[in-house]
Amino acid sequence: MRDVLFSGRWGTISPKSVEAQAAIADFMDRKHGLCLNSAYAALEALLRSLDIGYGDEVIVASYSNAVDSMTVSCVGAKPVFCDIDYDRCTISVESVKESITEKTKAVIVDSYAGDCGDLDTLSKLCKENHMYLIENVGDELVKNKQATATVMDIGKKNSLNTGLAGALVTDIDDIYNAFYAYHNCGRSPVATDNLKVQDFVG
């Protein structure tokens, strides 16, 4: 932390942040990683990157982190609440099936004690219905490749708390590029001109 404070470089594109993003992506076996100031910000940027907004529905568990439904509402979409699996306290696959409509664009699963539920079945269900599967793993780092993208809350358990932070990991280039642009004032990660702004507000 001292190195960062005295380096004169800060933010999510500074050298230490870039190192951390690469380490998180590597640990999660994903191609891309990007840190933001909070998991809430990461989830909002992800939903916007997936072009989810007004008129869309996103399925969330009725018993989970309130950030899921609040972020869905923040981008203008409608959170649709599902039951949970009583034995695992994770989102119920059967309830998800019953909640799918023509407006459903994504399912957000939340980690309960390191368990995100039946991701294999949910992943297959989402693919069949052309929906995104998003993991919000909170403080847990869950290694799997079932979800379109994973958002995590990092920094809570540090003895020296410098504030909460969030991260996103994904293997999908288009999602990462849009997510990056939203986080960096509309600038693309592949733009040679640092001032080149894409079709994102940022």
119 with 134: CB under 8 angstroms?
no
3-state secondary structure 103-135: CEEEEEEECECCECCCHHHHHHHHHHCCCEEEE
Report pTM.
0.81
| Residue 192: strand, helix, or coil | coil
Q: Choose among 184, 108, 106, 111: nearest CA to 153.
A: 111
Closest to 34 measured CA to CA, from 55, 18, 47: 18
Residues 6+ apart with CB under 8 A from 73: 79
pLDDT tens across the length of the chain (202 residues): 777 777 776 666 677 778 888 888 888 888 888 888 888 888 888 898 889 999 999 999 998 888 889 999 999 999 999 999 888 888 999 999 999 999 999 999 887 766 777 888 998 999 999 999 888 876 555 555 566 777 766 654 433 344 567 888 888 888 888 888 888 777 777 665 555 555 655 5
Distances (CA, A) of 129 to 28, 106, 120, 192: 26, 10, 14, 37
Report CA 42 to chain centroid distance, whole Å: 5
Edge-first strand listing for the sheet containing 57-61: 32-36, 165-170, 149-154, 132-136, 104-110, 57-61, 78-82
